[in-house]
Chain A
């Protein structure tokens, strides 16, 4: 029986998650990824990764502080956030996340505080209000042994795995949206997070520390390897759909096959990914171009953010129950554009306040061409 069907009457459904969600997922992924980048330099004490670790620590702390603000803003009743702790719900991934997140935040801040403390204590010896402030923040001149740094770093690392798991699982368990319902989504969040974190480190390396060559090489390597892994994961996901191994992936293909907007997004993602992996490879090959690492960093940030925009916002334009796609136009106000700009502004403020208060560059030896 062949027939043409036209949907004559159906309601339009609003977006349930706002761009705030994209901002949270972006910030928190950079936060845990940058934390991983601090491990060789700060926890394992490898000297050649120390500079990378110092920049990554700044990136991790600033994003850890700002991410939860965006998450709070995505609630329609932000002042009811305490309900999470009054009604603990161990069977909900989001509730588990609400328990993990504050502990993770405290551990990351403790880790950074311990790492920056010797320099703060030194600054406290000087004259003026900054010295006095440093003294207060350092909580006195007592010596903090290295095991405290290791312990808080390891603790933060353990909780960061919890954050990776919950942010991925929270979205991937939703069978109602086939584009989300895949075990590859949490993996992809982590990989693209790592790419974006390395990108931000490259950018700050150019803007704040004098474009160190080793950091550029290390950051570009992370981006290159990350993008290769992302390509493998994307290929596996596609194969699951093409071979029919996963009905959910097949359904995901079917749900977007007739949308020109989706085709455009997929093509853009593919082109940006290829451009990123090629530019990282070229810079790694041609040592004299390493100084342009920050440009690749910007592209890496774009890829990391766009992946989250595509996954969290664009997927919501696919109707679950009715034909067609919803048109989504970013609003100008705090539910849209201002929210995005505002989160980045808050992050910049956090970064600058830390930069003013904390002599995090102390003893840094930068090697640039």
Chain B
């Protein structure tokens, strides 16, 4: 990606992070592919997450605890920390960049209006969930999400995704990933409450916050602090993972390129 475009996207990322803080009332509309009304959840709240990348060490404790809490099948993740090795072309200095990814619980979630059976919906508190008793497993929502935050759970054969651990939030507990984060990098809270930690941090760092893929117009509600604008969209990076297959074509594992 060229520098101009990157700079522009970075600006949009910052602006969008700002725009998301204006409380949006329910944007229900009858048009095709428009957002349906929200339902369930506490209408007085709007949950969001702020991830302080300066405090993330890429230990994947969030990945593991989420896996245990939500019983995702092996190989499928509701949250994961992408890791990048960044090498300065002139000096040769190497740095590592960590990027925790999860559902962005967008204010305009593209996964919701596409659902043909209303199995996936947005709660009044902003959390996007799936009722997997209703889900038919058409995977339309998986295609619609620009963040790859959704997958088809091979056990339930229905759509699966991060719910901000709504079952824990509803009883006053923190999400598993937040609870287990060793650096305290993940902060969740109600952005409608001006005294919440997240609201205060947003107020303090409003100019530096960025969101992922702002150009998609989804208004994500996971805000990144200490973000590098080269990573807000699909990174211009060399993929280093190669899967290793056995003589019969079965998957045996992964190995790093060049090792």
Contacts and interface: CB of A to CB of B under 8 A. Distances in A.
A is bound by B: yes
Contacts of A173: 33, 114
B117 A177 contact: no
Interface stretch (B82-90, B183-191, B192-200): B82-90
* Interface of chain B, main secondary structure: loop
A80 B110 CA distance: 23
A10 B148 CA distance: 11
B144 A174 contact: yes
Nearest to A324: B239
* Interface of chain A, main secondary structure: loop
B240 A8 contact: yes
Interface string B82-101: 11111111100000110001
Nearest to B29: A91
Given A5-B86, A5-B235, A94 B30 contact: no
Interface string B65-77: 0000000000111
Contact-residue bracket for chain A: 35 or more
A10 B243 CA distance: 12
Given A8-B256, A83-B117, A322 B82 contact: yes
B107 to A, nearest CB: 15
B235 A7 contact: yes
A157 to B, nearest CB: 22
Given A83-B136, A173-B33, A175-B146, A11 B116 contact: no
A254 B6 CA distance: 14
Interface string A67-98: 00000001111001101101101111111111
Contacts of A86: 117
Interface stretch (B13-21, B41-49, B150-158, B165-173): B150-158
Contacts of A96: 32
B116 A84 contact: yes
A254 B19 CA distance: 28
A255 B234 contact: yes
A12 interface: yes
Contacts of A80: 135-137
Given A5-B85, A9-B241, A16-B142, A76 B235 contact: no
Nearest to A175: B216
Contacts of A13: 148, 151
A176 B241 contact: no
B241 to A, nearest CB: 6
A176 B145 contact: yes
A76 to B, nearest CB: 3
Contacts of A320: 145-148, 234
Contact of A83 (B134, B144, B146, B215): B134
A338 interface: no
A3 interface: yes
A238 B138 CA distance: 31
A177 B75 CA distance: 23
A261 interface: no
Contact of A92 (B97, B116, B237): B116
A11 B33 contact: no
B240 A6 contact: yes
A9 B81 contact: yes
A83 to B, nearest CB: 5
B207 to A, nearest CB: 20
B81 to A, nearest CB: 7
B235 A4 contact: no
A255 to B, nearest CB: 7
Contacts of A247: 215
Contacts of B26: none
Contacts of A17: 139, 143
Contact of B139 (A16, A87, A90, A169): A16
A176 B146 contact: yes
B135 A77 contact: yes
A263 interface: no
Contact of A323 (B77, B215, B235): B235
A329 interface: yes
A327 B75 CA distance: 16
B204 interface: no
Interface in B112-142: 113-119, 134-140, 142
Interface in A33-86: 74-77, 80-81, 83-84, 86
24 contacts: A5-B85, A5-B235, A5-B238, A6-B238, A7-B235, A9-B83, A9-B241, A10-B82, A11-B76, A12-B75, A16-B143, A75-B136, A76-B138, A77-B137, A77-B157, A84-B136, A87-B134, A89-B118, A90-B32, A92-B32, A170-B140, A173-B33, A176-B144, A323-B238
The 10 closest A-B pairs by CB, nearest first: A76-B137, A324-B239, A16-B139, A5-B237, A94-B116, A176-B146, A95-B116, A16-B142, A323-B237, A2-B89
